[in-house]
């Protein structure tokens, strides 16, 4: 039994690898960064919230993990280029990229202002293009890697008063497939995790945007086969699976983690 378990742990281990997590200062990003560090990765958190990012890194280090924070506006080409160059220069490799950064504006197409459309597309979708553009050549140089994009159940099925979010996340799902086709022969796997409603500041903020009572909103969000909203660790576990060798023959797919909400 020990030898079998040891082999499984070897497949999960990210010892010696470097993993980037965007939007890693809170929510799903933070939980994923903590878990990736726990299994041995050196985690680089990219965020625009410097105070929260530094706090997240301190938490990981206190738990025995290896982590670094870098300020990066993931919607900026120059920021992404400079940041990825700095990571490559310091560590000499990039093995995992979790494109997690995201924002939400709960409005329909009539009520949504152009600036909010641009923000949603730039942060939720364009950032994946920008970071992947600079990370993939490094992964090719290193003979492979894993890119995980954070999609959504609403990237597969539409939702109310979230037109820009649905458009962006639908793009994430199909962009994932296209990238997997383009770079599979270079040993790069590209997958998408599609969470349902997860208890994060982002989700609770949606209630406020819609003018709803937060607790009632969360109660309605729990109305799914498994009877609860997701915990950030539920999604982090899926991210670890896609980052590790456990998913070595998995690419170009989306993994729904939503308590059965789309069932």
pLDDT digits (tens, 9 = 90+) for 203-231: 999 999 999 999 999 999 999 999 999 99
Q: Where are the alpha helices (DSSP H) in 39-76?
A: 50-62
What pLDDT was estimated at residue 9?
82
Given a contact cutoff of 8 angstroms between Cβ atoms, the answer to whether 59 and 53 are in contact is no
> What average pLDDT does the segment 45-67 reach?
98
The proportion of the chain whose per-residue pLDDT surpasses 90, expressed as a percent, equals: 95
Q: Is pLDDT above 80 for 38?
A: yes
Over the chain, what is the mean pLDDT?
96
Active site residues: 165
- Categorize the per-residue pLDDT at 8 as very low, low, confident or very high, splitting at 50, 70 and 90: confident
Q: Is pLDDT above 50 for 1?
A: no
For residue 162, give both structure tokens: 């979230």
Q: Is pLDDT above 70 for 2?
A: no
Q: Is pLDDT above 90 for 55?
A: yes
Q: Is pLDDT above 90 for 24?
A: yes
All domains of the chain in start order, with CATH? 2-195+230-257 (3.40.50.720)
> What average pLDDT does the segment 166-191 reach?
98
What pLDDT was estimated at residue 4?
56
Exposed/middle/buried for 47, CB within 10 Å: 0-12, 13-18, 19+?
buried
What does the angle CA 68 – CA 237 – CA 147 come to, to the nearest 5 degrees?
60
Q: At residue 34, what are phi and psi to the nearest 5 degrees?
A: -65, -40
> What average pLDDT does the segment 65-80 reach?
98
Q: Is pLDDT above 70 for 3?
A: no
Instruction: Choose among 237, 142, 133, 224: nearest CA to 182.
Output: 133
> What average pLDDT does the segment 151-179 reach?
97
Q: How far is residue 40's CA from residue 215's CA, in Å, rounded to a whole number?
A: 37
Q: What does the pLDDT look like over 116-132, one tens digit per residue?
A: 999 999 999 999 999 99
3-state secondary structure of 198: strand
């Amino acid at each position: 039994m020990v030898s079998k378990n040891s082999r499984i742990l070897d497949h999960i281990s990210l010892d010696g690898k470097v993993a980037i997590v965007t939007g890693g200062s809170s929510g799903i990003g933070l939980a994923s960064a903590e878990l990736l560090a726990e299994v041995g990765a050196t985690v680089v958190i990219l965020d625009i919230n410097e105070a929260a990012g530094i706090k997240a890194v301190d938490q990981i280090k206190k738990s025995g993990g290896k982590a670094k924070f870098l300020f990066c506006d993931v919607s900026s080409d120059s920021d992404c280029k400079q940041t990825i160059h700095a990571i490559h220069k310091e560590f000499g490799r990039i093995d995992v990229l979790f494109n997690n950064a995201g924002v939400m504006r709960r409005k329909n197409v009539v009520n949504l202002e152009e600036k909010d459309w641009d923000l949603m597309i730039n942060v939720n979708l364009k950032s994946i293009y920008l970071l992947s553009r600079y990370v993939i050549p490094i992964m090719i140089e290193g003979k492979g890697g894993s890119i995980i994009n954070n999609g959504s159940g609403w990237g597969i099925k539409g939702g109310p008063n979230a037109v820009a979010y649905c458009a962006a996340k639908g793009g994430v799902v199909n962009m994932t497939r296209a990238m997997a086709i383009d770079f599979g022969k270079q040993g790069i796997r590209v997958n998408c995790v599609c969470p349902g409603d997860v208890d994060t500041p982002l989700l609770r903020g949606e209630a406020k945007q819609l003018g709803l009572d937060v607790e009632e909103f969360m109660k309605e969000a729990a109305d799914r086969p498994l009877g609860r909203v997701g915990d950030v660790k539920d999604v982090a576990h899926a991210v670890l699976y896609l980052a590790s060798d456990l998913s070595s023959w998995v690419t170009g797919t989306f993994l729904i983690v939503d308590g059965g909400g789309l069932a």
